[in-house]
Amino acid sequence: MLLAIDTATRFASLALYDGTSVRAEESWQSANNHTVELMPSLVRMMARQRVTPEALRGIAVSLGPGSFTGLRIGLAVAKGLALARDIPLLGVPTLDVLAYMHYDQRRPIWAVVRAGRGRVCAGQYVRRRGRWRRVGELGLTTIAELASRLERATLFCGEITAAEREFLQEHESGWAVVASPAASLRRAGYMAELAWSRLNRGQTDDPVTLAPIYLHRPLA
């Protein structure tokens, strides 16, 4: 059984995955209360499925980009469990999960999460030789700036506001395709699938050195 933990942004998600199916998944919008919400949700989900820590084969955690506090909380819990129980730890970039959710379509993808002050953390993904790969560097930008770069039909997914969604849908290029709100939710079940594949290849991370992906420095 693999436990997936994602608290990279205000949207949080947990999942239990057994290699064949997602046994349980819980996702919610948090008002920056990850500290008090994460552990009760985790304990409740594992108890409901009668899964004990001894049954875990791996722990996946979102690495970011995302909020400083959210990333630290998720990593702290994941590292604590991994070290205490000697369970393999697997870090998964936040935007990789969003792109993986749309693996069955062929347009290039811009995956985004909120960065504050109207900005987004963005990553571009393209399909090459049947696999999705990130191209270029992750960056801090705006939806309008991303739209100005479009040269072909491109899917936008992730944390997109209603105003940004309307802007993209009305963009003069006509090349912006916006995933629906439900198809933009960053679900831990998808992260669990990505992590399980790595786990079976023996590609685990060191809990001592695993670090979050930050695109800008914290204010404090």
Q: What are 155-206's pLDDT values in tens digits?
A: 999 999 999 999 999 998 999 999 999 999 999 999 999 999 999 999 999 9
Q: Which residue would you say has higher pLDDT here, 132 or 158?
A: 158
* Average pLDDT rounded to a whole number, residues 116-134: 90
| The two domains 2-93+187-200 and 102-184 share their CATH topology (first three levels equal) | yes
User: Each residue of 60-78: pLDDT tens digit?
Assistant: 999 999 999 999 999 999 9
Beta-strand pair 11-17/176-178: unpaired
At residue 205, the pLDDT reads: 98
Query: What residue spans of 49-93 are helical by DSSP H?
Result: 68-85
Alpha carbon 212 to chain centroid, angstroms:
12
Domain 2-93+187-200, CATH among 3.30.70.1350, 3.40.50.1100, 3.30.565.10, 3.30.420.40: 3.30.420.40
CB of 164 closer than 8 Å to CB of 154: no
Q: Which residue would you say has higher pLDDT here, 108 or 103?
A: 108
| Helix or strand holding residue 39 (H, E) | helix 34-48
On average, the pLDDT of the chain sits at: 94
Cis peptide before 108 (omega within 30 of 0): no
Beta-strand pair 11-17/22-29: antiparallel
* Residue 26 reports pLDDT greater than 80: yes
* Residue 120 reports pLDDT greater than 80: yes
* Residue 220 reports pLDDT greater than 80: no
CA distance 30 to 120: 18
- Model pTM? 0.94
* Residue-level length of the chain: 220
Every domain of the chain and the residues it spans? 2-93+187-200, 102-184
Instruction: Just give the CATH number of 102-184.
Output: 3.30.420.40
